[in-house]
């Protein structure tokens, strides 16, 4: 897993090359976007939907289930994200959307989704297979950005921004690994509580998922300001076994930053471990890629501290095997 994390900037460059060579049809009338995908395959959709929120010309809906919203129709673009191409929930959602005659772009390494896409002449972007899906967010995220631009949904100048991120990550790699070790020490033997501010919740979800899978730990996440209306009260039951980690960007809304400063006063009454991870870069896209990469390293170093294999996910394999028998 460390090798896969270390190769993130190379993956981003390869993903750019794949995007530039892909063949996406010209945009038709689109009034809604549905991105369907789960786990490591689906988190890219969450991140991109937030990145595009200020420039998207149509609503973007994220689906992580077997089903689709009732309003899906021929003017809906359904972007199907499944790394393996065999995710049963995603296949179910795709088939339901086909009944509604929706438009499709499929992003996958193969499997049944690739077969369905080829049989129905759907737009298809094939990414390299054979890796843990959670290690391939660069492949899927860049393709999503490319689809948004090609379909004229939102232009995030992704090529220039991703190239800037690659240079930044390569330049900061050793420094970031040292930072990640320090952050991992803070979270070791604690229950991580991850917060983000405003429209960057996808980054907190990604970090939580990586701690779950790579570090084999339970944790939770929430977002400010929403958590100020519910979870903040729950901190009356906080304790020193909790470690608060806040993901920060330079684009955090000033009122949410003020909220955070007040929140930290509350957190500090119950735990001694409250810290922030600050992004670097000149745009929200670059800062998002920076935080994804840095927190991936944190999850790997947490696995080291626990002396466990970050790649192993036997319990998910057990679940899929049990479901296959039903």
Ranges of each domain in the chain: 2-156, 171-306
Q: In angstroms, rounded to a whole number, what is the distance separating the alpha carbons of residues 315 and 143?
A: 29
Residue bearing the bigger pLDDT, 155 or 294: 294
Give the helix, strand, coil percentages of the chain, each rounded to 5: 55, 15, 30
> What pLDDT was estimated at residue 323?
61
> What pLDDT was estimated at residue 130?
86
- 197, 257 Cβ separation under 8 angstroms: yes
Give yes or no for residue 320 having a pLDDT over 70. no
When pLDDT is averaged across residues 187-212 and rounded to a whole number, the result is 96
Categorise residue 307: left if φ over 0, alpha if ψ from -120 to 50, beta otherwise.
left
Peptide bond into 225 cis (omega under 30): yes
Residues of the chain above pLDDT 90, percent: 85
Could you tell me which CATH number the domain at 2-156 has?
Answer: 3.40.50.10490
Residues of the chain above pLDDT 70, percent: 97
Catalytic annotation, residues: 213, 229, 320
**pLDDT range class, residue 1, cuts 50, 70, 90:** confident
Q: What is the pTM of this model?
A: 0.93
Tens digits of residue pLDDT in 20-68 = 999 898 878 999 999 999 988 889 999 999 999 999 989 999 999 999 9
Nearest residue to 203 (alpha-carbon basis) of 251, 162, 257, 247: 247
**pLDDT range class, residue 300, cuts 50, 70, 90:** very high
3-state secondary structure (DSSP) of residue 127: coil
When pLDDT is averaged across residues 149-156 and rounded to a whole number, the result is 89
Q: In angstroms, rounded to a whole number, what is the distance separating the alpha carbons of residues 96 and 78?
A: 11
Cα→Cα distances 127→124, 146, 313, 317, Å: 10, 13, 22, 22
Topology of domain 171-306, CATH:
Rossmann fold (3.40.50)
> Are 2-156 and 171-306 the same fold in CATH?
yes
**Averaged pLDDT of the chain:** 94
> What pLDDT was estimated at residue 128?
92
Give yes or no for residue 219 having a pLDDT over 80. yes
Strand partners, 72: none
Query: How many CB atoms are located within 10 Å of the residue 74 CB?
Result: 12
Cα→Cα distances 217→117, 179, 221, Å: 37, 20, 13
When pLDDT is averaged across residues 173-199 and rounded to a whole number, the result is 97
Tens digits of residue pLDDT in 90-143 = 999 999 999 999 999 999 999 999 999 999 999 999 999 988 888 899 999 999
């Amino acid at each position: 897993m460390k090798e896969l994390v270390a190769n993130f900037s190379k993956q981003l460059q390869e993903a750019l090359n794949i995007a530039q060579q892909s063949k996406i049809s010209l945009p038709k009338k689109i009034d809604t976007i549905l991105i369907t995908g789960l786990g490591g395959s689906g988190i890219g959709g969450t991140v991109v939907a937030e990145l595009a929120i200020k420039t998207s010309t149509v609503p973007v809906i994220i689906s992580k289930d077997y089903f689709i919203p009732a309003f899906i129709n021929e003017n809906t673009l359904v972007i199907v994200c499944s790394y393996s191409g065999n995710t049963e929930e995603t296949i179910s959602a795709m088939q339901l959307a086909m009944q509604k005659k929706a438009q499709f772009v499929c992003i996958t390494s193969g499997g049944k989704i690739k077969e369905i896409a080829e049989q129905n002449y759907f737009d298809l972007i094939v990414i390299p297979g054979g890796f843990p899906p959670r290690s391939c967010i660069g492949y899927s995220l860049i393709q999503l950005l490319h689809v948004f631009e090609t379909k004229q949904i939102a232009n995030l100048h992704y090529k220039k921004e991703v190239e800037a991120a690659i240079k930044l990550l390569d330049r900061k790699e050793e420094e970031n690994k040292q930072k990640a070790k320090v952050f991992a020490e803070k979270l070791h033997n604690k229950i991580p509580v991850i917060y983000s501010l405003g429209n960057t919740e996808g980054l907190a979800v990604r970090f939580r998922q990586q701690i779950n899978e790579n570090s084999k730990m339970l944790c939770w996440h929430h977002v400010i300001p929403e958590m100020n209306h519910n979870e903040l009260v729950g901190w009356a039951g906080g304790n020193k076994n909790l470690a608060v980690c806040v993901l920060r960007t330079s684009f955090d809304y000033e009122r949410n930053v003020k909220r955070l400063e007040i929140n930290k006063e509350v957190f500090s009454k119950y735990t001694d471990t409250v810290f922030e991870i600050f992004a670097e870069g000149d745009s929200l896209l670059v800062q998002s890629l920076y935080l994804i990469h840095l927190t991936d390293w944190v999850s790997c170093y947490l696995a080291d501290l626990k002396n466990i294999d970050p790649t192993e996910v036997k319990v998910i394999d057990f679940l899929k095997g049990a479901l296959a028998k039903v």
